[in-house]
Structure 1
């Protein structure tokens, strides 16, 4: 197999995810296909050996393509019509069908169409596809803290208007509480069941110094990391999202935010005091 064949194969493995991101952003199956094709063309022009994380590069690139399309004067806002009934321009593979059926809800798509392009990109990439704020920041030309604030604002707007179960705060909180309970009680299998197979756990440098890991991927690995832990964690709202905080000696030492779709797809842990001070933290009653 040639290098070109290997790159094409890896791209095809990511195509369902890329199409799901683009469909969330653009609301149109046909435009999503076009955005994915543009991403493929950009990959062919890129310095591929210099790309350390190809899935991450592809996800942020398709996000940038979609952002450019949303910002263009010629973009036609046909999201609500297409979300209901347009057939894809090509017949998707079964894996694509399952992913789109899981991710794309009409009620949520209508709400997403009310967000500005940058808010929509940040919400979709972070809350629905677990892309880190640091990875999103260069796409929108903002700092990571600014992106976090944009995400919080977009999340509050979406949750205030959407009836889609994917963004239902009460449901997200139940999932997080079930995860914390399984973690405390050491129920490994239950932890795995609550996690997306491709879940990503990210911790900041301060949390790593406290014994954490900068990044852990996969449901088994993340479940193993949390198994038997979270003894001091209590449910909380973190920038409007279901999460948890660890309180020691009367002070919040850690904040955990969760990205929840059907299962937990992303967990971010913040321990840096300055970052904690910037978060909107509300301990759940």
Structure 2
């Protein structure tokens, strides 16, 4: 008989006492139960805030020096990593190579379950090799139960290549030991539907990834105040958002904001710098480049005699 690892002791696989009559609840009771259980995600994030902050600092430092951020996972965890990575270019105008998602089974696994592919640690290691990961990079392994061989294989390979390694899981360290540089534990307890980690575990993972990637982009100067000044203006919605950002921060009319945005080549950050300093697009971009794209630092520099 095949030797199958026992996982029943894991927090994510245990039986939730609050939902043992799940199939007997009326619909309102069902929704109420979900709402009550999902509240645990906020506590889990709060308890992991120091580790999340460490991951933000490590990733932002790496990316500022030309490194890359990788998310690695299988199933739901892998899909969440790919989703977060895919949303960075339109939100922060990043190069698609800067933040990448790696999922067991590749693109096909995004729309069709390929859960058996998570059992190969060798495949995880090969995915790291294929992307030529180095000591400049940060690799985040995502596994709700913390035992996914594909993720462990990827983390071990990344570690051997000198990359900074981060683990994101939903089980306590005493249940599963993961040797990484930063160990993020998001403890939301047993699922309403036993073992279905696309529920609370998936929700808290999405929340943590939101915080991680957005925090990194804030540190990289892609945000001014709470505006996404590096937004990629690629459709009418984003063009409208860009104009509103310019209107709100400069008090220009919509027509004036549109003219300024066009002069900047639809680059909101550059448009703001041009407006506040009087620089032309070439000089403004040069100033931004000299300060690693950080608008606030570039503005302070322009005020110095």
The normalised TM-score by structure 1 is: 0.25
Higher relative contact order (CA 8 A, sep 6+): 2
Higher strand share: 1
Q: Which has the larger radius of gyration?
A: 2
Is the helix fraction higher in 1 or 2?
Answer: 1
TM-score normalised to structure 2 length = 0.24
